[in-house]
Amino acid sequence: MAEYANSSGGAAGPVTVSTAGEKSSAAKDRLRKAAYPVLLAAMVAVGAATLLLGWAPAQVSPLFTVGVLLYLTALERLIPYEPDWHPDRREWRWYGVYFLFTMVGSALAQALVTTAVGIVSPSVPALPLGAEIPAALLIGSLASYLVHRWGHANPLLWRLHGVHHVPTKVNVANNGVNHVLDILLAQGAVQLILAFIGFSRESVFVVGLFVAVQGYFTHANIDVRIGGLNHLLASPEQHRLHHSTVLAEAGHYGSDLSVWDHLFGSYTWRPGREPVSVGLGDPASFPGTGEIVATLLHPCRRRRSNSASKA
């Protein structure tokens, strides 16, 4: 702050002028508060427009995902949680390849879901859309939680899912570091459950948008805190702990809602709790992220007798 006397010589008190640094800090504070609401508002707007205007969900979903990725990448530069977690050029190349694999896996899963929904979904949904979407979100979130937790507990599935835990950084770009079969199995299983229960295409589409938003948001390297909403929704604060090398704190298998972590005892976050380091407790158990071919073939390799999984 700088103080200036009244130029007329009167007895007026000091006038405070904010410095550029203070203005920048205030702007970042506003951005931290607005970042998540803006993201959710965009998801609602795109979902509503798609349903009301008859846009093709198969085209909207990937375009919206790219938009979310660009938005969060910009926020990582403006309000980073850990500046050292920014990807370097080499990592961007790796992550780009994995992102393509993830998109292929997602597209295959979506094709299965779209076909199944078209076959088994009732012509007239049992519930109005306003009630069907929350029901689909809860059931889909529970299925996602169980599949994710099983991916950590089952040695065979861990050989697929563990690929995602190899990086020693958590950022929006390496949210796409996955084995393509892990994406196909996880997303396909969850959405097929919704389809066979009988939820409409519209509700499955809207839930899919929300899950995509949450997946990239929770992985973003941004200094955003959502306060009490942490007990309902997943957040970057929780997901960094999920990637912790300390298994005692690495819960948080819900990547969209956090209610199931509370219910099943895997909720470990508290205000201010942060992981000391992220990645694998046994880095040698998986190929490095840059070893893309070895990573894809890793599930076929003979397992080590002491192969560890993150339970």
pLDDT in tens, 17-28: 568 788 889 999
Signed CA dihedral, 30, 32, 37, 41: sign only: positive
Dig out the tokens for 244 from the structure: 């912790």
- What pLDDT score does 33 carry? 96
Confidence category of residue 198, pLDDT binned at 50, 70, 90: confident
pLDDT at 40 over 90: yes
pLDDT tens per residue across span 282-294? 999 999 999 999 9
- What pLDDT score does 136 carry? 94
pLDDT at 303 over 70: no
- What pLDDT score does 51 carry? 95
Determine contact, residues 167/289, Cβ cutoff 8 Å. Answer: yes
Separation between Cα atoms, residue 149 and residue 231, nearest integer Å: 19
pLDDT tens per residue across span 207-245? 989 999 999 999 999 999 999 999 999 999 999 999 999
Average the pLDDT over 107-112 and give the result. Answer: 76
Least confident of 36-40, 71-75, 98-102: 98-102
Cβ-based neighbour number of residue 302 at 10 Å: 6
- What pLDDT score does 4 carry? 43
pLDDT at 188 over 90: no
Q: Considering the chain, what is the average pLDDT of its residues?
A: 88
Confidence category of residue 46, pLDDT binned at 50, 70, 90: very high
What pTM, to 2 d.p., does this model score? 0.88
pLDDT tens per residue across span 131-140? 999 999 999 9
